[in-house]
Structure 1
Amino acid sequence: MAIGVLGLSVGLALGGLMLLGVLGYVLQRSVDSEAFRTADAVALLAAEDALPDPLPVAGGQLRVQVVDAQGRVRAASIDADRLVPMVRPESLDPDLRQRLLVSGERVGLAGPVRVVTVPAGSAADPLTVLVGKSMTDVQHSTHVVRTILLISFPLLVAGLAGVAWRVVGATLRPVEALRRGAEEITGRAGPGRLPVPASGDEVHRLAVTLNGMLDRLESARDRQRAFVADAAHELRSPVTNIRTELEVARRLGDRTDWTAVTSNLLADTERLSRLVDDLLLLARLEESEAGSGGGPGRGGIGPVELGELLTAVAARYPAPPVRVALPHQPLWTVAQPDELRRILTNLVDNAVRHARDEVVLAAASEGAYHLVTVTDDGPGIPAADRDRVFDRFTRLDDARARDAGGAGLGLAIVRELVRRAGGAVTLADADGGGLRVSLRLPVLPTSEG
Structure 2
Amino acid sequence: MDSHDHEDLNNIENGISDVQKSNKEMWNPRTPQNMSSSLLRKKSDPILVSKVRFGFLSDFLTNLQEVIIGTKLALLFPAIPLAIVADFYHFGRPWIFALSLLGLTPLAERVSFLTEQIAYYTGPTVGGLLNATCGNATELIIALFALRENKIEVVKYSLLGSILSNLLLVLGTSLLCGGLANLKKEQRYDRKQADVNSLMLLLGLLCHMLPLMFKYAAGPGVSVAINTLQLSRASSIFMLVAYLAYIFFQLKTHRQLFDSQEEEEEEERPVIGFWSAFVWLLGMTIIIAVLSEYVVGTIEAASNSWGISVSFISIILLPIVGNAAEHAGSIIFAFKNKLDISLGVALGSATQISMFVVPLSVIVAWMMHVQMDLDFSLLETSSLAFTIIITAFTLQDGTSHYMKGLILFLCYVIIAACYFVHNIPQNQTTFVNMEGGFQPYSPGVLAA
TM-score normalized by the length of structure 1: 0.23
By percentage of residues, which structure has more helix? 2
The structure whose residues are more often strand, as a share, is 1
TM-score with structure 2 length normalisation? 0.23
Higher relative contact order (CA 8 A, sep 6+): 2
